[in-house]
Each structure stands twice: as C-alpha cells, then as structure tokens.
Structure 1
Amino acid sequence: MNTDEKKQLRKKILNERKKLSKEEVNTLSEKIISYLIKMEEFKNSKTIMTYLSFKEEVNTFKLIEKMMDLEKNVLTTYTDKNKNIIVPCKLKDLDESLDENPFGYLEPKEDLIEEVDPGQIDLIITPGLAFDKKGNRIGYGGGYYDKLLARAPQAIKIALSYDFQILSKVPNGKFDIPVDYIVTPTKIIVCEN
C-alpha cells in the first residue's frame, strides 16, 4: 500500500469515526475499558502508558481515573517537537497537570514533565486508526508511536479500537511495530504477530 492509499484509508476511518456521537464514544469506550481491565496483562502491569484521547478516539480519561484508583503508575506522552519523538512522562493528575497544545489536544504542562525511561514501562496503550489481526496498525502518519515502541521492546502493546477500525489487512513497513492485543467493544483480539 503506497502513501496515497494510506492517506485514503486514514481519511475513510476518520470520517467513519466522526459519525460517532459523544454518547456512542462514551458507551463504546466503557465496554472497551471493561474488557481491558479484566485482562491479566493489565492487572499484572504496574507502570502503564496511555495516550490522552482526542475528539472521537476511544476515551482514555475514564481509564486513567481507574488506573489511578488501582494505584498504577500512569504515564502519558509529551511531544518533543525538536527531536520529533514522544516522551513518556508521569501523569500526576487530570486537573492541574495538563494543557492544550497548539494542535488542540491535551499534553502534560512543560514545567511539570517528569520523564520516564521507556524501559520501565510494563504496558503501552497505543492509539491508531486501523488495525489487523496480526497487530499491524496505521497511526496518524508521524511514526511517533513506532519510534517509542522500538525503545520499549519489553512493554506489552495494547490498542483500543472500535470494531469498524479492524480490517482484514493493514500494510506494515520495516519500522512499524505491531501491537500484541486489540481491545474492541465486542472482543479481545490476541494478535498473530
């Protein structure tokens, strides 16, 4: 699949996602989170990194609250625009620690960033637009997560996804890192990678 085809696929999935109402996002997200927190891989992980959901993505804010209640070490990402990478950092709370960045999504405030070595992460919740049963994923096109996942080979990688984002085949290149599990509102997919 070439770059234009990936672009078209991203556009198609984004358009599909935009059709979801806020209520649908919340209902589907709750189902996904209820599956996730019952997984042994989740239960056994102490340090978990997750993305901060944006627009119609699977809502991770309720998940973050649950993780904090379970006394997990919750990490999220900060984008280092100079190095073109995402940096895992400790998330202290959802009220005082976050700021909206120029792209419109929330990130940790720069003066509160407490960077964490990717080698200390047990589990990484990864975003994405499309996935297949082998764990291949298409993200938003920057390669940020692939770079991070390459720096945390020990971490279990779990994607949160709506059912319509699961495709029969997603192209992958030599720098693409597949996920180990995909959790949807109806099932947990153990990836064949």
Structure 2
Amino acid sequence: MELRILKPAFAPSAANQENRQAIRNQIRIARRAIPAEAQKRVAQEAASRLMDIIYQRQAKHVALYLTSDGELDTQPLIETLWQAGINVYLPRLHPFSRGNLLFFKYHPTSHLIQNRLKIWEPKLNIIEMILPQELDVIITPLVAFDEQGNRMGMGGGYYDRCLNDWQLRGKPYPIGYAHDCQRVAALPTEHWDVPLPLIVTPSATHSA
C-alpha cells in the first residue's frame, strides 16, 4: 500500500491563536463538568443518532477515537458498531512523520499502548492498517464547532492533515462528534482548517 502524507503549512496568527486557546479552555471546562450519569445517557443518545447516519451511508469501515478529557464517550458507539459487523479503526501517531496519523483495526482483543500525548492507541501492526482513503467514515474528535461546520481541535492539526483532500477523493466522509455544549456561534479559522459536513451531538445533527 502506498501511504501518502499531507503536510499543510501551519502558522497560526497571534490573534487567532489567543482566541482559539480561550475557547478551548472554556469548552474543556464545560464538558468536564458534565456529571458521570449524564455522560452515560448522552453517549447512548449520540451513538443512536450517529448509527442512523452510518447505516444510511452503508459504511463498512469506520474510524473513530477513544475518549479522554470529558469528550463525548465513544464506547457505546464502538460496541454498537461491533455488534453491527462494521469494522472499527483507531488512529495512531505516525512513528516517522510527526503530525500525521495512521489507522489500525480495533477489536475487543486489541492491545493498546499510551502515546506521548497520553492517549491510548493501537500497536503498530501493518497487517491491521488501513489507508484513510479506504475508510468510509471518520468520526473526528473536536473541542468546539460552529454553525458553519468549522471544527477546532487541540491544535496539533492531525485531522486537518488527514482530511486535507477528502472532498476530491470522496472518502473518508468526516463527521464530528461532540457534546451540545461544545457548539459556539463562530470560530476563528485558518486556511488549513477543514470544515465538517456533519456534526453529531446527543440532541441534534448539525449540517454545514
């Protein structure tokens, strides 16, 4: 398999960087404040909503992420995907190309290790790897999103690089996944930011 690495130039303006960090701090505090029982309930609601979209798209290969820092819990979604016979994949930091991701199949017996960002990821196993353009859907983490479908992550640009030309290929179709409290009126953006066509929250599906 030929692995294509995309490297947009990242040089945020000082004003945007300050604004984005302020939004990150505010939203991360808000989502971490959601009580554990409410987290369980909204995770089930969001998983049900997103599964309807996955079925509509007839997706067979879906990438997502493991939850951390108060993010909307993906575990109910993962288990529902497994039960439906849909292949699930997790990202892993590229070992040789900083700022890029690789994707590996994830199943109940997968062995995970913690990376330098303290995030759990699959072991490097070429047999389990899939190229981004072979994925049908990629469910992206985010810190905040706005009414135009703009997504703000933690600032590393991993998903912006991965999705840089998804519209030209038609795959993987990106869907944001977030708590309702992570929606803001407008986000400061940069030229490399990749907007999302859909963002799913527990109470709604937002389309750009």
- Residue 199 (structure 2) aligns with: 182
- Distance in 1, Cα, partners of 2:110 & 2:25: 34
Q: Compute the RMSD of aligned alpha carbons.
A: 1.9
Contact 2:199 2:207 in 1 (8 A): yes
User: Following TM superposition, by how much is the alpha carbon of 1:102 offset from its aligned partner in structure 2, in angstroms?
Assistant: 3.9
- Distance in 2, Cα, partners of 1:109 & 1:50: 16
User: Following TM superposition, by how much is the alpha carbon of 1:60 offset from its aligned partner in structure 2, in angstroms?
Assistant: 1.0
Contact 2:63 2:138 in 1 (8 A): yes
- Distance in 2, Cα, partners of 1:126 & 1:46: 17
Matched, 1:88 2:124: no
- Structure 1 length as normaliser, TM-score? 0.90
User: Following TM superposition, by how much is the alpha carbon of 1:73 offset from its aligned partner in structure 2, in angstroms?
Assistant: 1.7
The 5 Å alignment of 1:97-108 reads: 97-108=111-122
SS of aligned partner of 1:147: helix
Matched, 1:145 2:145: no
- Residue 117 (structure 1) aligns with: 131
- Distance in 1, Cα, partners of 2:135 & 2:51: 17
- Residue 183 (structure 2) aligns with: 166
- Distance in 1, Cα, partners of 2:109 & 2:71: 20
Task: For residues 145-188 of structure 1, give each alpha carbon's deviation from its aligned partner in whole angstroms, at most 9, with x where no partner exists.
Answer: 10011254422211111111111111222111111111111111
Matched, 1:26 2:40: yes
Task: For residues 49-107 of structure 1, give each alpha carbon's deviation from its aligned partner in whole angstroms, at most 9, with x where no partner exists.
Answer: 1111113111112211111111112111001253121112221x234322233433211
Matched, 1:76 2:93: no
Matched, 1:36 2:50: yes
**Count of matched residue positions in the alignment of Structure 1 and Structure 2:** 190
Contact 1:42 1:123 in 2 (8 A): no
- Structure 2 length as normaliser, TM-score? 0.84
The 5 Å alignment of 1:25-64 reads: 25-39=39-53, 43-64=57-78
SS of aligned partner of 1:5: helix
Task: For structure 2, list consecutive stretches of 5 or more residues without a partner in the other structure.
Answer: 1-14
Q: Which amino acid aligns with 2:186?
A: K
Contact 2:140 2:176 in 1 (8 A): yes
User: Following TM superposition, by how much is the alpha carbon of 1:40 offset from its aligned partner in structure 2, in angstroms?
Assistant: 5.6
Matched, 1:11 2:11: no
- Distance in 2, Cα, partners of 1:20 & 1:95: 30
- Call closer, same or farther: CA 1:142–1:118 in 2, change over 3 Å: same
- Distance in 2, Cα, partners of 1:12 & 1:134: 20
Contact 2:110 2:122 in 1 (8 A): no
Q: Which amino acid aligns with 1:83?
A: S
